[in-house]
Structure 1
Amino acid sequence: MKSATSLRSAFVASALFFSRALGVTLTDASQLTSTTYDYVIVGAGNAGLVLANRLTEDANTTVLVLEAGVSDENVIPVIAPFLGPSVTPDTPWDWNYTTTAQPGLDNRTYPYPRGRLLGGSSSANYMIHQYGTNEDWDRMANVSADAGWAWSNMKQYIERHEKFILPTNGQNVSSEYIASLHSYTGELDVSLPVWTQATDARVVATTQQLAEFPYNQDISGINNDMLGIGWAQSSMVNGTRASSSTSYLASANDRPNLTVLINAMVTKLLPIGTPAGVRSFRNVQFSDARTFSVTPSFQVQATKEVILAAGAVGTPQILQLSGIGASEDLAPLDIPVLVNSPQVGKNLQDHPLLPNIFNVAGNSSLDHILRDPAQLGAAIAQWETNRTGFISNNVVNNIGFARLNSTVLEQFTDPAAGPTTPHFEIIFANFWLDPIVTLPSNGSYLTILTALVTPTSRGSITIQSTNPFVAPLINPNMLDTLFDITTMVESVKAIKRFAAAPAWGDYITSAFGSLAGTSDAALEEHARQHTTTVFHPTSTASMAAQDALDGVVNPDLTVKGTSGLRIVDLSVFPFVPSCHPMGPVYILAERAADLIKAAS
């Protein structure tokens, strides 16, 4: 999800005044004391820092992490939960990508946020923490022919990953989560909302008034059911964001066998020798990201493995630059095909996000504060002083998930992983949150966003230059199928029914703008005009069975047709999880660490 342009501007204007970026670990290649490590990890995001932590638990194992971005230390927009929308796009902490024109979205382009700093997108996202349904994981086990990816095995990693923290404001949250499902001993802090939005009680009341929207006491997916409306669980604690940097890296950063180098832009992987039929990729070439030039370049070598954890955009870009990909993508750039892997960069999946805005009565939405730099600045100052107020909280408190009704669904082959897996998400924000339309100069608003979580559209990531500093072509291919646009229209109809419940009778006054349309055709046009992304790209280096001819990686995440090369990030998921995918990639990386240790 990304914020409205007007909110982003307000947040940046207020927050940057307090910000300062301090160097963490190494900042320049000249500071490296070695060029050879057991493992070289490319990317210090969710997955990369999990691996850095777990692999260096063995004091005899040396690890180098290369991160193109900057430090996250003391960057207030990153640290303060409510300021999450100001971290991306068009900032020093974002890759600042833009999509290609999207036919399904009236040929619009839009920013494609990806975190470019320590912690990756876990330092730039909206912090919603879930695991998906067990059906999501069981489907991955079936597709990969590896039972180790089934939920019966994967759920064990929650214990070492999650550290559930109860809010410190004294509120009673016993009805907002199921205590027995969670872990309290892991690395990443996860918590519930610490600041009450004026709409929270109305959302919960609606679950009691409309049977279509049941209350779900725990929306994490741990108990195999995300359907219904519940309280958002977020990676935050004590009024601050929790990321892979503040958790996994922080607890390992003093280990002498771990080296993290920021400002290091990996330009390609270099093959070593030519074993029969298999290319070994254990050399990594990189440049100083601050120069935006491939020269001078530096090289490091992994004696055991290079692990790509650069994400669903960065990983296929690096593979293609290295000659691993489809000849149709590499030949126009005169890049020799060292490993013919036609699915590299293909199969891109993402969650389309649609803001639906209502006019509301009174002044209890946050819009009047967010319009006023003085009030917003005072709220940030309060947060700086004692970590309280709405800045200490996520931007949303309540989320929900739903399936299409059977009459609509019978028109299609169900793309969900199973009968308890949702088709769309509902997100509540008690202020204007539209990335396309600027916040009006007056009025109060409620935004009920909907997101398609089981898309059937497929896009691609394709390099357009041999220069790694030139962004690849990013084509999510949003709303390209009848199922996808039908589901988005049905999601809008669902939230309009939600908003018509008695709980909203004295608050919502009318639908805003194109949301006021009543026909399917009008709501389709509303969706095509306003949809962008929750920025959950996956599946561009998809996993397939060991003996399968398709796919990019094997079930153990090693790259097919290579040796010494593995991928551990969201690009390996064959299907985008039906939830916010931060949690899934964390536990994927936890299992990957076990697989890597077992192979060493």
Structure 2
Amino acid sequence: MPLLTTPDELANKTFDYIVVGAGTSGLALASRLTEDAGSNVLVLEAGAVYGDDPLVDVPSQFGATFGNPKYDWGFPVVKQEHANNIEHNWPRGKGVGGSSAMNFFCWIKPPAEDVDAFEKLGNPGWNWNEFEKYSKKSEKFHPAVKEVTDKYPHTYDEKFRGTDGPINVTDPIHAHTLDKIFIDTLGNKGIKHVTDPYGGDVTGTYLASNNVDPKTWKRSYSATGYWLPHQDRPNFHLLTGAHVSRVLWSDEKDADGNLIASGVEFISGDKKNVATAMKEVILSAGAIKSPHILELSGVGSSEILKKIDIPTKLELPGVGENVQEHHFAWLVYELDTTNADHQTLDQFADPEFAKESLRLHGEAKGLHRTGITGFAFLPLSSRAPEETAALIDTLEKDIKARTASGEISPALAKQYEIQLSVLKDDKLPDMEFIIFPGYFMAREPPAPGKRYISILTSLNHPISRGHIHAKSNNPEDHPEINPNYFKENFDLKVFLEHAKFIRSLTDTEPFKSNCTEVQPGPNATTDEQLEDYIKTTHITTFHTVGSCSMLPREDGGVVDPNLKVYGTKNVRVVDLSVVPLHVAAHMQTTAYVIGEKAADIIKAGN
């Protein structure tokens, strides 16, 4: 049975599995489960089916769907006490495809050591070898077309790439003049170029692939890869406009005293409905909504649940805790266009150019084939070895003192021990630099004829931890989100090192002859001014993890290595919320890996 249109079609039906959320992980999971004709799967999604929608399909429109409630949950974030009391907003995909329908197309895999850390924290089977297997299963890699390789020859290694997965991946066409300026400059500073960053070694510079289909130059995402080709499977059911409010529990427990889920309650229109699960309820609602739904279902800290008048069904205080988020800061440079025709997204400021480019995209031509491709992942010591070593030493002493005093729990100390080992290793990355082909977050349209390069920096391994918790028992109220940006001052100091490293590029060719700083500009000369600029301008990178951490229960874990919620017989969480410790990567590949691996875990009866 294909797409369901009304909740009434669920009447008198039961399903083996109910998957909450038709997003990146959820559709990967559901698609693989329905390969078994004997498994009857229902996916419930609060948003809609986008269909043939140019705002979703056409690349180079970064953030075009943000703030539009048709596409975006638009989660508010509480004022950030340590970041100038600014109120942030976290865009997240609402609809079939989830955030894979609104992301920035970056197809990035983490360092092997970052994934192996999951296993070190108590999760057997969650390591780089498994990650590589499942990431290749999700991917269909297409080597760069001749139009790219003629302009920017680069290397790749086929053994690191998937060849027949559902998600098409290739190199975009434009922006390579900017990538060349950046990568050649870093090369002249002694930074190595990575032959292929998809095999577990990402330290250095490289050109990244994007999740686009080179036949059409349209977005390739979970809806087009995992759902559309299989939507007519009689055992693959999808209901949109279904806002899941809570998991429903049987009156009985299993022999070990675990809660047994009987289904879920969801809201469609102004009516509450029930869907029944015979085997499992699986939350794939993302790192914000999955802990929210658990708390609305009575699973979490009794102290928090009591405040919002929800009876505690299961004491599990790790729910909504250990939240870690990447966030961006950036510097902007005006390009010298006298010697090169830099193709940048600033050209879209001309309405006629933008209209013509969109027309050309229909012919698989034009600037709408531009992506984000130039990356560097570097150790912190790349900036100033002695200064950064002293910074790390100060952090280590602070962590040891606070652990000894009991301010830092033994569980968090285990995470910090791994983070410190990465910081001290000159072969592992802590700093990320991303080339954005245009004026990122421009406060006003660029002047006609001017072109820009923005160098984005991302905090990959935050020391600060935040939380996400229900703030009322109304399921339609957003949860309270507090990432605690810069609660740990070390995070701000790492951003400062990023900014100083970028500014050092102006002493090296070809960056020196091609780029003039615009933001924050020449008036920002002191560390304090740069830090204030960072605190004022930084934004989310949409990479939240940890809110339903896969850790031992005594370490604040919410799910075990089989992704089953502790204290339940048949509830799992399958999305980025289970990642226990952040990684140096953009997260969509990891989300697909989690969905793919979870399907095999379930099929094996674990």
TM-score, normalising length: structure 1: 0.90
Secondary structure class of the residue paired with 2:419: coil
Conserved 8 A contact 1:163-1:188: yes
1:346 match: 321
Q: Which moved more, 1:134-143 or 1:495-504?
A: 495-504
Unaligned runs of 5+ in 2: 397-417
Equivalent-residue separation in structure 2 for 1:302 and 1:583 (angstroms): 29
Q: Does 1:208 align with 2:187?
A: yes
Secondary structure class of the residue paired with 1:505: helix
1:507 match: 514
2:60 match: 82
2:133 match: 156
Q: Does 1:236 align with 2:236?
A: no
Q: Which moved more, 1:498-507 or 1:167-176?
A: 167-176
Match of 2:590 among 554, 566, 584: 584
Match of 2:30 among 40, 52, 72: 52
Secondary structure class of the residue paired with 2:8: helix
Secondary structure class of the residue paired with 2:600: helix
Unaligned runs of 5+ in 1: 1-23
Question: What is the aligned residue count?
Answer: 564
CA deviation map 1:172-212 (0-9, x unaligned)? 3762422232121222111112224431321232133111x
Q: Which moved more, 1:455-464 or 1:398-407?
A: 398-407
What pairs with 1:533-548 in structure 2 (closer than 5 Å)?
533-545=540-552, 548=554
Structure 1 residue 265, shift from structure 2 partner: 0.4
Secondary structure class of the residue paired with 2:517: strand
Equivalent-residue separation in structure 2 for 1:499 and 1:452 (angstroms): 22
Label 1:544 to 1:176 Cα distance change in 2 as closer, same or farther (>3 A): same
Equivalent-residue separation in structure 1 for 2:20 and 2:56 (angstroms): 22
1:415 match: 419
1:112 match: 90
What pairs with 1:33-44 in structure 2 (closer than 5 Å)?
34-44=12-22
Query: Which amino acid is 1:96 matched to?
Result: G
Conserved 8 A contact 2:45-2:241: yes
What pairs with 1:249-328 in structure 2 (closer than 5 Å)?
249-275=227-253, 277-288=257-268, 291=269, 293=270, 296-328=271-303
Equivalent-residue separation in structure 2 for 1:309 and 1:110 (angstroms): 24
Equivalent-residue separation in structure 1 for 2:148 and 2:445 (angstroms): 33
Match of 1:398 among 365, 374, 380: 374
Equivalent-residue separation in structure 2 for 1:401 and 1:202 (angstroms): 16
Conserved 8 A contact 2:42-2:239: yes
Query: Which amino acid is 1:490 matched to?
Result: E
2:305 match: 330
2:333 match: 358
Label 1:34 to 1:82 Cα distance change in 2 as closer, same or farther (>3 A): farther
Label 1:174 to 1:110 Cα distance change in 2 as closer, same or farther (>3 A): same
2:490 match: 483
Label 1:320 to 1:515 Cα distance change in 2 as closer, same or farther (>3 A): farther
2:559 match: 553
Query: Which amino acid is 1:508 matched to?
Result: C
Please report the RMSD computed on the Cα atoms of aligned residues, expressed in angstroms.
Answer: 2.0
Equivalent-residue separation in structure 1 for 2:567 and 2:589 (angstroms): 29
Structure 1 residue 515, shift from structure 2 partner: 6.7
Secondary structure class of the residue paired with 1:299: strand
Label 1:549 to 1:105 Cα distance change in 2 as closer, same or farther (>3 A): closer
Equivalent-residue separation in structure 2 for 1:425 and 1:35 (angstroms): 49
Conserved 8 A contact 2:331-2:517: no
Query: Which amino acid is 1:67 matched to?
Result: E
Conserved 8 A contact 2:123-2:560: no
Conserved 8 A contact 1:325-1:337: yes
Conserved 8 A contact 1:355-1:434: no
CA deviation map 1:137-191 (0-9, x unaligned)? 2110111241x11213332223322110123454437624222321212221111
CA deviation map 1:242-262 (0-9, x unaligned)? 101111112322211110111
2:530 match: 523
Structure 1 residue 364, shift from structure 2 partner: 3.6
Label 1:422 to 1:125 Cα distance change in 2 as closer, same or farther (>3 A): same
2:77 match: 99
Match of 2:434 among 427, 430, 435: 427
Equivalent-residue separation in structure 1 for 2:420 and 2:161 (angstroms): 25
Query: Which amino acid is 1:595 matched to?
Result: I
Query: Which amino acid is 1:190 matched to?
Result: V
Secondary structure class of the residue paired with 1:465: coil
Structure 1 residue 343, shift from structure 2 partner: 1.1
Q: Which moved more, 1:438-447 or 1:484-493?
A: 438-447
Secondary structure class of the residue paired with 1:249: helix
2:144 match: 167
Label 1:115 to 1:353 Cα distance change in 2 as closer, same or farther (>3 A): same
Secondary structure class of the residue paired with 2:99: helix
Equivalent-residue separation in structure 2 for 1:180 and 1:277 (angstroms): 47
Q: Which moved more, 1:169-178 or 1:578-587?
A: 169-178
Conserved 8 A contact 2:109-2:197: no
Secondary structure class of the residue paired with 1:208: helix
Conserved 8 A contact 2:505-2:512: no
Equivalent-residue separation in structure 2 for 1:144 and 1:392 (angstroms): 43
Conserved 8 A contact 1:356-1:515: no
Equivalent-residue separation in structure 2 for 1:515 and 1:323 (angstroms): 54
Structure 1 residue 566, shift from structure 2 partner: 0.5
Structure 1 residue 441, shift from structure 2 partner: 4.9
